[in-house]
Structure formats: structure tokens, C-alpha cells
Chain A
Amino acid sequence: MIIYTTEVQDINSFYRLESLKEVYGIIWMLVPILTLVLGITIGVLVIVWLEREISAGIQQRIGPEYAGPLGILQALADGTKLLFKENILPSRGNTRLFSIGPSIAVISILLNFAVIPFSSRLILADLNIGIFLWIAISSIAPVGLLMSGYGSNNKYSFLGGLRAAAQSISYEIPLTLCVLSISLRAILDIVEAQSKYGFWGWNLWRQPIGFIVFLISSLAECERLPFDLPEAEEELVAGYQTEYSGIKFGLFYVASYLNLLLSSLFVTVLYLGGWNISIPYIFVPELFEINKMNGIFGTTIGIFITLTKTYLFLFISIATRWTLPRLRMDQLLNLGWKFLLPISLGNLLLTTSFQLLSL
């Protein structure tokens, strides 16, 4: 009887230990994910505020100043307002596709944040094929645009959705080929290979053509001006977003800024040296050791540097939006297929020949 009791007690304690381990495992996975989602949300809020302030500066007016100090909470106020707006479903439109469209756009862009290194050893999912996963998942976003264009029972939405999807897929091939050229020469991690000579070790100098093509392609992928036609107010009313109201429109809005943040982070990681300080080692040889980036202090500095470089690129893209005029649709598609695609193929060929000559 006593042995039976102690056996039952043993089994009970073992079971409790096992379930605790399960719970610990789940929490160990959830905490980084929720931290990343929180970080992304704050990043989007900062980008929206930055866009309003920079556009105000370029247009010589004052930006938001009433919602919070210096208008910081403006994005939050906009989002909350959109939550309270009525959700109008168009009659005779496909209700399921209408709702799923913006969700797919947001989810597919949000998934790509899992493979970005914010500092050394600070990636959500350390996969071997990380960068390829970005290329693959970002190809799902045009499906969401097509769904939303078709599901609203509107000619203009339909045409806008087709145009937006055509633009998205046209600029993915030069993007993919530029990423291919970079992954051709990096034997180690892409960021570590850029850390040797500080500022001069950036991939920006090793592949200038690739950088320009990547810049243009990622601006076109995010549907930012000068490639703004899917949401041009004068052309197709609001393109595929015409019939949307309330939080579904808010989801498209958020997806656009998420895509911009994602592209900026990828430009930083691929071309601008990632989390390395990038001061040339000629001046201060001791700083070169900070490139090791261990411990909490090193990791925090890494995150800070990544975000600084990201926001530099963001500033450039926001300033571009408010400076350049819009391209027409056929000019846009011409640029993508007849200009950027041969150039990125040529860039790949050039990179390959330089690799061969140096081997």
C-alpha cells in the first residue's frame, strides 16, 4: 500500500515537472514573439509620426501637434478612430474575400519580420534560408491585393487590384536577383562579411548597381511614390482600397508602413552593414573589438545601430515620396521589366565574374 502510494506520488511529481517544462517551452517561444510584435508596432507608430513630420517640413507647414506632446500619439489616435468607424460591406460583393484580403496582406508582411537579425544572435527564427524565406513570403502579398480588388463589387477596385498586383510581381524579380547577387559572395553570414573594414566594408560599395536596383524595387514593392499608382487619388479613386472603411482600411494602411519598415530593415542588413558600428578601424583600433557584440550591452548597441541605419533609409524614402512625381502605369511596368530586370541580371553576371577573377 505504501509502495503504491509513493509510486503514485512519484508519477504525479514527474507529470507536474513534465507539464511545467511544456509550459516553460511555450513561454520561452511566446515572449520573443510578443516582444517583436510590440517592437514592430512601436516602429510603425514612429514611422507614421515621422512621415507626417517630414512631409510637413518639406511642405513648410507644421505637422501634428495636438495628439500628445509633439504629436507623437497621432498614429494611435488615427488607429483608434478607424476602429470606431462603420464596417461597410459592399452589396453583392464577395464578403469572405473582402475580409480576408487585407488580413492576408498584413499577415504575410508581418511574417517576414521573423528572419531579420536585429543584433548578433538576435533573430526570431535562425533559419539557414532566412533571406529566401522573405522573398517567398513577400510573394503572397499580391494575392491579398487581388482578393480585395475582386471582392469589392466595383470596377475601379478590380482594375486597381490588378494593377497593384502587376506592379508588385513585376518588381519582385529584380529584388530577388539583387539578393541573389549578395548571397553569391557571402560565405559567412551576410552581415559578418561586411564587418571587416568598417564603413568601407559595406555591401553598398561592393554592389552599387545592386543597391540602386534594390532601392527602386523595394520602393515599388511598398507602393510608395513614385510608384504610387494603386492608391493614386486622382486615377482610380483609391484603387483596390476604394470600398474599404474602418479597421480593414486601417489594416491596409498598417500593411503599407509595415512593408516600408521591412524593406528598410533588409536594406540595412544586406547593404549597410547590419548591426556593426562601421567606423573604419584605421582610426581607433579598440573600437574594432566592439564588433564582437557580446553580452547585453553589445546586443543593445547592435539593436540601436540597426535601427539608426534603418531610420536613415526611412528618411530617404519618405523624402522621396514627397519630392518626386508619380510614374504612369506603363512607365512603371516598363521600368520593372525592361530596365531593372536586365540590369539585375547583368549585376549577377558581373558579381560572378569578379568572384571568378579573384579566386
Chain B
Amino acid sequence: MFLLYEYDIFWAFLIISSAIPILAFLISGVLVPIRKGPEKLSSYESGIEPMGDAWLQFRIRYYMFALVFVVFDVETVFLYPWAMSFDVLGYPYS
């Protein structure tokens, strides 16, 4: 990872851009008033008392979407080298 010199500026950019949220949290931690209250800590459910647990059963289709996304993403990754060398590979009978 350290032998690819063109990525040096990329790592530096990563470090600086991860400093941006940290800086935001630090400034906010200094400037923010803290007034704790029991109502503030409860979860929001349109004004009523929250009913039941927050870890509810979610529909299985969200897992299916992630699975199919992984399949198609891997297929796209396999398509990229083919697309890059397409003009070299060409058609087998020409």
C-alpha cells in the first residue's frame, strides 16, 4: 500500500477529510449548552410514549436487496476489465 506513490495524496486527503467531522464535534462540544432532562432522552414516536422495543422485526426483503446488490456488483467488477480491453479483444471472427 505504501509503494503506490500516486495514492499518497489520496491518503492525505482521507486524513484531512476525517479531521473535518472530528473538528465539528470538538467545536460543538465546547460551544454547546448541556441541560439534561428525562424527556430529552426518550425516543421520538410522534409525541406518544414509545411502544415496544426498537429492535423490531424488519422485512426480509432488505436482506434480499443487499444480496442481489452484492451479486450484481461482483458482476460489474468482472465486467470492468473486459470493457477496458474491449478494443483489443474485439470480435472472434474478424
A interface, CB within 8 angstroms of B: 29-30, 32-34, 36-37, 83-88, 90-91, 99, 102-103, 106-107, 110-111, 114, 124-127, 132, 139, 152-156, 158-159, 162-163, 165-166, 169-170, 172-173, 176-177, 180, 183-184, 187, 237, 242-243, 246-247, 250-251, 333, 337, 341, 348, 352, 355-356, 359
Report Cα–Cα, A85/B28, bound state, in Å. Answer: 8
Residues A114 and B9 in contact, CB atoms below 8 Å apart: yes
Contact of A180 among B20, B42, B83 (CB under 8 A): B83
The chain B residues found within 8 Å of chain A, CB to CB, are 6-10, 12-14, 16-18, 20-22, 24-25, 27-29, 31-35, 40-46, 50, 52, 54-56, 58, 62, 65-66, 68-69, 72-73, 76, 79-80, 83-84, 86-87, 90-91, 94
With CB as the reference atom, state the residue of chain B lying closest to A79.
B24
Q: Which of B13, B34, B72, B84 contacts A33 (CB 8 A)?
A: B13
Beta-carbon contact of A158 and B55 below 8 Å: yes
Shortest beta-carbon distance from B12 to chain A in Å: 5
Q: Which residues of A contact B10 (CB under 8 A)?
A: 111, 114, 124-125, 127
23 A-B pairs within 8 Å (CB atoms) are namely A29-B9, A32-B9, A83-B32, A86-B32, A87-B28, A88-B41, A99-B25, A103-B22, A107-B14, A107-B21, A111-B17, A114-B9, A153-B43, A159-B58, A166-B65, A170-B65, A176-B73, A176-B76, A183-B80, A247-B24, A355-B86, A356-B91, A359-B94
**Contact residue among B31, B32, B80 (Cβ-Cβ distance under 8 Å from A132):** B80
Whether B14 and A111, one on each chain, are in contact in the complex, defined by CB atoms closer than 8 angstroms, is yes
Known: A166-B62, A172-B69, A180-B76. 6 other contacts (CB 8 A): A106-B17, A114-B13, A125-B10, A183-B80, A237-B44, A242-B44
Contact present for B76 and A153 (CB under 8 Å): no
Residue from A110, A155, A166, A359 in contact with B17 in the complex, judged by beta carbons closer than 8 Å:
A110
B17 contacts across to A, CB distance below 8 A: 37, 106-107, 110-111
Main DSSP-derived SS at the A contact region: helix
CA distance A125 to B8 in the complex (A): 9
B43 partner, pick from A90, A99, A159, A177, beta carbons under 8 A: A90
Most buried by A among B27, B55, B68, B72: B72
Contact of A83 among B7, B24, B45, B68 (CB under 8 A): B24
